[in-house]
Amino acid sequence: MESNTNTPNAFKTPRKPEKMKSPGNKLTESCSAPGTPVTIPASPFMKKLGCGTGVNVYLMSRNGKFHSPWAIKKINSKCTTSQKNIYQRRLCNEAKILKDLQHPNVVGFRAFTTSKDGSKCLAMEYGGEQSLNDLIEKRRESGLQAFPVDVVENVALHVARGLKYLHNEKKLLHGDMKSCNVVIKGDFETIKICDVGVSLRLDENMQVSDPKAHYIGTEPWKPKEALEGGVITDKADIFAYGLTLWEMMTLSVPHLEMLDSECDDDDDSFDEDDFDEDAYYECLGTRPALDSDTLGGAYQKMVELFCLCTEEDPRKRPSASDIVQALESNL
């Protein structure tokens, strides 16, 4: 949760950032004195925070008592030339979008530059060392069950606030909502949505405005309309948001929970040949099972929210604004 959503951040996303210079791997620090050069260290000299499709994210410490660390997103050097071109275009798009965003539940823009090898580097607000997915995996590996209900409710509210801001104020579909794209600082002190590189513009009807735009997403979190070439609206994010809550209550990946049940209790290995691929693809875009009896009555509201968000018909799903209003009324 946000410890104090009314407290200004030390470094806010600039509305009109200073023109950035990039001699070598230098850039202008857009959140301090104009013209202050900052050097992005080589990847081996930064702590790796995580990775995504074609990119790695590193922690960059900065000198000075009042200089908060940055998260640096760089293209994976192991990518082929054609892959690098794709991911660099995506990173440029993410930087362009991120510059215009400022919300306590969305990771903020800090700077953009070109490294010595010609690849792009996106400097962002440091939202925390761990993603929600990291915490889910650690909890599962420790033999624990669902996150406490107050934690699930807290994440649900803050992520919904971030989505409301993207949808209503910025007319943006996040396009890849999942636990991997929620970063957590400390003991849920802050909760922020990240990775807006595949976001799509929404029109006044909350539909994707460009008919040629392609919803990318991630397969297990995709709604039916994205899988079948239907009309994409803000409700595509809501479906994936519902599955993110499901992740916190089951500690599993949507539609892949069958992997756990198909493995022998005495053997953690999994034979790929035993995986029912047809059954997996048939389940995509549907609501995965959730044993509410095992969770207990305290989770009833979160189970109901999950069910509403994962309605197959997007018109039956609530908007992010509806979700925020409902959750805030329960505080």
Which tens digit of pLDDT belongs to each residue from 222-256?
999 999 999 999 999 999 999 999 999 999 999 98
Residue 6 counted as domain residue: no
Question: Distance (Å, rounded) from C-alpha 260 to C-alpha 183?
Answer: 26
The confidence score (pLDDT) of residue 86 equals: 83
The confidence score (pLDDT) of residue 250 equals: 96
Q: What is the mean pLDDT of residues 63-80?
A: 80
Q: Residue 162: which pLDDT band, with cuts at 50, 70 and 90?
A: very high
DSSP 8-state assignment for residue 202: B
| Site of tokens 């992740």 | 247
Percent of residues, the chain, with pLDDT higher than 70 = 81
Neighbour order of strands in the sheet with 109-114: 47-52, 55-60, 70-75, 120-125, 109-114
The answer to whether the CB of 54 falls within 8 A of the CB of 76 is: yes
List, in sequence order, every residue forming a beta bridge with 57; answer none if it has no partner: 50, 73
Q: What is the mean pLDDT of residues 199-210?
A: 96
In terms of pLDDT, which residue wins out, 23 or 291? 291
Please identify, among 125, 159, 182, the residue that sits at the C-terminal boundary of a domain: 125
Instruction: Please count the structural domains in the chain.
Output: 2
Enumerate residues 6+ apart whose C-beta is below 8 A from 78: none
Q: What is the mean pLDDT of residues 299-311?
A: 97
Residues 177 and 300 in one domain: yes
Residues 224 and 108 in one domain: no
Q: Judge whether residue 27 has pLDDT over 60.
A: no
Please identify, among 100, 125, 150, the residue that sits at the C-terminal boundary of a domain: 125
The confidence score (pLDDT) of residue 262 equals: 45
Residues 80 and 182 in one domain: no
pLDDT by residue (tens digit) across 105-127? 999 999 898 766 667 789 898 88
The confidence score (pLDDT) of residue 37 equals: 52
Q: Can you read off the two tokens belonging to residue 21?
A: 């210079």
Q: What is the mean pLDDT of residues 50-72?
A: 79
Q: Judge whether residue 272 has pLDDT over 90.
A: no
Residue 31 counted as domain residue: no
Look up the CATH number of the domain holding residue 216.
1.10.510.10
The residue segments making up the domain with residue 198 are 130-259+275-329
The answer to whether the CB of 95 falls within 8 A of the CB of 82 is: no
Which residue, among 201, 311, 292, 211, has the nearest Cα to 322 in the 3D structure?
311
The confidence score (pLDDT) of residue 266 equals: 47
Q: What is the mean pLDDT of residues 269-283?
A: 75
The confidence score (pLDDT) of residue 9 equals: 38
Question: Distance (Å, rounded) from C-alpha 309 to C-alpha 311?
Answer: 6
Question: Distance (Å, rounded) from C-alpha 156 to C-alpha 287?
Answer: 18
Please identify, among 125, 149, 177, the residue that sits at the C-terminal boundary of a domain: 125
Percent of residues, the chain, with pLDDT higher than 90 = 56
Residues 49 and 85 in one domain: yes
Question: Distance (Å, rounded) from C-alpha 288 to C-alpha 236?
Answer: 16
Tell me if residue 21 falls in helix, strand or coil.
coil
Residues 102 and 158 in one domain: no
- Helix H or strand E segment including 58: strand 55-60
The confidence score (pLDDT) of residue 7 equals: 39
Residue 314 counted as domain residue: yes
Question: Distance (Å, rounded) from C-alpha 76 to C-alpha 101?
Answer: 25
Catalytic residues: 176
Q: Residue 321: which pLDDT band, with cuts at 50, 70 and 90?
A: very high
Residues 49 and 156 in one domain: no
- Which runs of consecutive H residues, i.e. helices, occur in the chain? 81-98, 132-141, 149-164, 224-227, 235-250, 258-262, 277-283, 292-295, 300-309, 320-329
